């Protein structure tokens, strides 16, 4: 596992972010699909629980991989990343609501595209604030 982690840390940061984001987005999509198809939850409600589970995949991955070099303490990074993730989720939920209401697409296609769109802002906010070293 350590060798894999070291190999992945050698990737350019945007690729590491995409790998972690892909794992979190896959978790998010899978949870939504299971809740909607298996338990007949409404997609927007399923999206909330999926976000909460995917948050931990994302935070763990970014801490260990994407932003590991920053050495920022969890007491700083975790609450800041949670703010970034919650802001991204609000944008996600609004865009997802709009897509579900006005586009004739499958709910998972809509969610996938929304997740991609929101990822750019999440990367910038995470890099410049959530995982940034505090000012001296």
Q: What gap in Å lies between CA 135 and CA 131, rounded to an integer?
A: 12
Q: What gap in Å lies between CA 80 and CA 72, rounded to an integer?
A: 11
pTM equals 0.86
Q: How far is CA 106 from CA 2, 9, 83, 102, in A?
A: 39, 36, 29, 12
pLDDT tens digits for range 102-132: 999 999 999 999 988 999 899 999 999 999 9
For the chain, give every domain's residue range.
18-130
Phi, psi of 135 (to 5 degrees): -65, 145
Mean pLDDT of 73-94: 95
Q: What gap in Å lies between CA 99 and CA 93, rounded to an integer?
A: 10
Give pLDDT, residue 132: 94
Token pair in block for residue 96:
């997802």
Instruction: Name the average pLDDT for the chain.
Output: 94
Give pLDDT, residue 2: 85
pLDDT tens digits for range 38-80: 999 999 999 999 999 999 999 999 999 999 999 899 999 999 9
Residue partners of 43: CB distance under 8 A and separation at least 6: 32, 36, 96, 100, 107, 111
Give pLDDT, residue 127: 95
Give pLDDT, residue 134: 81
Mean pLDDT of 3-27: 92
The answer to whether the beta carbons of residues 59 and 81 sit under 8 Å apart is yes
Give pLDDT, residue 18: 92
The answer to whether the beta carbons of residues 73 and 134 sit under 8 Å apart is no
């Amino acid at each position: 596992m350590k060798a894999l982690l070291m190999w992945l840390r050698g990737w350019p940061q945007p690729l590491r972010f995409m790998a972690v984001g892909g794992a979190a987005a896959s978790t998010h999509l899978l949870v939504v699909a299971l809740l909607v198809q298996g338990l007949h939850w409404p997609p927007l409600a399923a999206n909330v629980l999926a976000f909460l589970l995917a948050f931990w995949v994302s935070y763990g991955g970014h801490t260990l991989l994407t932003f590991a070099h920053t050495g920022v303490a969890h007491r700083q990074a975790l609450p800041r990343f949670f703010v970034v993730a919650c802001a991204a989720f609000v944008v996600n939920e609004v865009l997802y609501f709009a897509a579900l209401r006005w586009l004739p697409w499958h709910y998972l296609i809509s969610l996938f595209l929304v997740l991609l769109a929101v990822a750019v802002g999440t990367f910038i906010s995470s890099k410049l604030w959530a995982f940034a070293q505090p000012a001296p």
